[in-house]
């Protein structure tokens, strides 16, 4: 029988900092087990039971989830981080999957105490490690008729718990240490900040630090250029990633990120490839931007092809007199970009 590792919150954070992941991770899935219930939990045997069920009965290549949060506040490891999870049918690409042991449907068990504390910390740590905003946290039920992770858990409340943890610790402590500085590009070793805190082409180079660097790193990471940890420090890894991006995007390779690099990184990448509900990423963001610019209201420009984006695609298709199927492909692209 396969064995699993159990981490305390601190151990989990240490593990996460050290782990290398080649696969691109772009969202976090939250699930409850439903069965086993919290009251069924028996330590590692419970995890092994799920492993057995997933691999033997369901025939999957590994346990479905990357992490399992136990009722007593520990985090168990699981599926290899290099594999997409088996969490949400058709929507597992780029996912990092959490299972919380318990049945959190109304009137059953409650997510509280040590378990809530552990899952909030673990999710916050993963957000930081992989550069994922709150809008990259996904509940199973958003893509399924299931109630998972349980009707007693509202997404707003859950995200609020994760935010609270970040406010008291990890994510924002680093931000509060950023000393106020001007938005001027610096020649090195200084904090670089802007009032809007978003990088849009200000010159950044090795030695710079701060929120703008973090934005740049996030953008590089999202596009697969591997800047290392999203830590707001423009070190050798970030510089190497900028060089990789510059080379690939056919602009001058100097390792300094400025307006040209920004323009190249933000240029449209969607050229009519088929996109449909459940898809994620930069191409979806391009599609959303295009829809928004033309008044088709796709909702937030978040790179997630959800119901709002789908509805906007339908509106556009209807308006442009092409087949209305809610799937964006070459025909939709051509119609959107025609005069």
Whether omega before 149 lies within 30 degrees of 0, making that bond cis, reads: yes
Among 13, 66, 140, 214, binds Zn ion (CB under 5 A): 140
Strand partners, 257: 204
Q: Are 307 and 277 in contact (CB under 8 A)?
A: yes
Q: How far is the CB of 6 from Zn ion (least distance, A)?
A: 22
Strand partners, 280: 304
Torsion, CA 8, CA 14, CA 18, CA 21, rounded to 10: 50
Q: How far is the CB of 191 from Zn ion (least distance, A)?
A: 42
**Please, which residue, 140 or 166, has the CB nearer to Zn ion?**
140
Segment holding 330, helix H or strand E: helix 330-337
Binding mask 104-123 for Zn ion (x = CB under 5 A): --------------------
Selected range binding Zn ion among 139-147, 170-178, 283-291, 321-329, rule: CB under 5 A? 139-147
Selected range binding Zn ion among 10-18, 122-130, 148-156, 316-324, rule: CB under 5 A? 148-156
Q: How far is the CB of 121 from Zn ion (least distance, A)?
A: 21
**Please, which residue, 99 or 191, has the CB nearer to Zn ion?**
99
Q: Note the Cα 34 to chain centre separation in Å.
A: 24
The length of the chain is 339
**Please, which residue, 142 or 302, has the CB nearer to Zn ion?**
142
Q: How far is the CB of 69 from Zn ion (least distance, A)?
A: 13
**Please, which residue, 138 or 220, has the CB nearer to Zn ion?**
138
**Please, which residue, 72 or 142, has the CB nearer to Zn ion?**
142
Q: How far is the CB of 48 from Zn ion (least distance, A)?
A: 20
Closest CA to 101 of 133, 78, 131: 78
Q: Is 148 in the site for Zn ion (CB under 5 A)?
A: yes
Q: Is 31 in the site for Zn ion (CB under 5 A)?
A: yes
Q: What tokens were used for 205?
A: 């180079």
**Please, which residue, 140 or 285, has the CB nearer to Zn ion?**
140
339 Cβ contact partners less than 8 Å away, ≥ 6 residues apart = none
**Please, which residue, 83 or 322, has the CB nearer to Zn ion?**
83
Q: How far apart are CA 2 and CA 331, in angstroms?
A: 49
Selected range binding Zn ion among 73-81, 145-153, 157-165, 218-226, rule: CB under 5 A? 145-153
Q: How far is the CB of 146 from Zn ion (least distance, A)?
A: 6
Q: How far apart are CA 335 and CA 330, in angstroms?
A: 9
Q: How far is the CB of 30 from Zn ion (least distance, A)?
A: 8
Between the two ends of the chain, the Cα-to-Cα distance in Å is 63
Torsion, CA 266, CA 254, CA 194, CA 180, rounded to 10: 150
Q: What tokens were used for 243?
A: 């060089």
94 Cβ contact partners less than 8 Å away, ≥ 6 residues apart = 23, 24, 25, 26, 27, 84, 280, 281
DSSP for 50-111?
HHHIIIIIS--SS-S-SEEE-TTS-EEE-S-TTS--SSSTT--TTEEEEEESS--STTS---
Selected range binding Zn ion among 75-83, 146-154, 191-199, 329-337, rule: CB under 5 A? 146-154
Tokens 């005069």 label which residue?
Answer: 339
Selected range binding Zn ion among 140-148, 161-169, 197-205, 253-261, rule: CB under 5 A? 140-148
**Please, which residue, 140 or 209, has the CB nearer to Zn ion?**
140
Q: How far is the CB of 183 from Zn ion (least distance, A)?
A: 44
Q: What tokens were used for 268?
A: 């449209």
Q: How far is the CB of 145 from Zn ion (least distance, A)?
A: 11
Residues touching Zn ion: how many (CB under 5 A)?
A: 3
**Please, which residue, 91 or 285, has the CB nearer to Zn ion?**
91
**Interacting residues with Zn ion (CB under 5 A):** 31, 140, 148
């Amino acid at each position: 029988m396969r064995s699993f590792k159990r981490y305390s919150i601190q151990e989990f954070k240490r593990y996460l900092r050290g782990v290398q992941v080649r696969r691109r991770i772009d969202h976090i899935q939250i699930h409850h087990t439903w069965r086993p219930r919290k009251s069924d939990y028996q330590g590692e045997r419970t995890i092994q039971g799920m492993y057995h069920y997933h691999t033997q009965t369901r025939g999957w290549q590994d346990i479905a989830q990357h992490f399992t949060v136990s009722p007593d506040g520990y985090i168990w490891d699981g599926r290899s981080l290099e594999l997409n999870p088996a969490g949400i049918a058709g929507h597992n690409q780029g996912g990092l999957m959490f299972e919380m042991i318990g049945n959190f449907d109304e009137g059953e068990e409650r997510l509280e105490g040590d378990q809530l504390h552990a899952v909030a910390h673990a999710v916050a740590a993963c957000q930081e490690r992989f550069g994922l905003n709150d809008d990259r946290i996904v509940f199973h039920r958003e893509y399924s008729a299931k109630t998972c992770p349980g009707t007693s858990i509202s997404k707003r409340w859950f995200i609020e718990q994760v935010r609270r943890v970040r406010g008291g610790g990890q994510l924002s402590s680093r931000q509060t240490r950023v000393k106020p500085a001007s938005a001027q590009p610096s020649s090195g070793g200084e904090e670089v900040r802007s009032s809007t805190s978003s990088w849009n082409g200000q010159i950044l180079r090795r030695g710079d630090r701060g929120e703008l660097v973090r934005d740049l790193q996030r953008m590089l990471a999202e596009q697969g250029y591997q800047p290392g940890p999203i830590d707001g420090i423009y070190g050798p890894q970030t510089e190497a990633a900028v060089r990789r991006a510059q080379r690939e995007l056919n602009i001058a390779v100097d390792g300094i990120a400025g307006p040209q690099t920004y323009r190249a990184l933000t240029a449209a990448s969607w050229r009519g490839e088929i996109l449909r509900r459940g898809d994620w990423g930069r191409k979806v963001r391009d599609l959303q931007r295009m829809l928004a610019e033309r008044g088709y209201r796709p909702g937030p420009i978040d790179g997630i092809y959800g119901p709002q984006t789908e509805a906007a695609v339908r509106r556009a298709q209807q308006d442009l007199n092409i087949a209305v199927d809610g799937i964006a492909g070459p025909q939709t692209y051509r119609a959107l970009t025609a005069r």
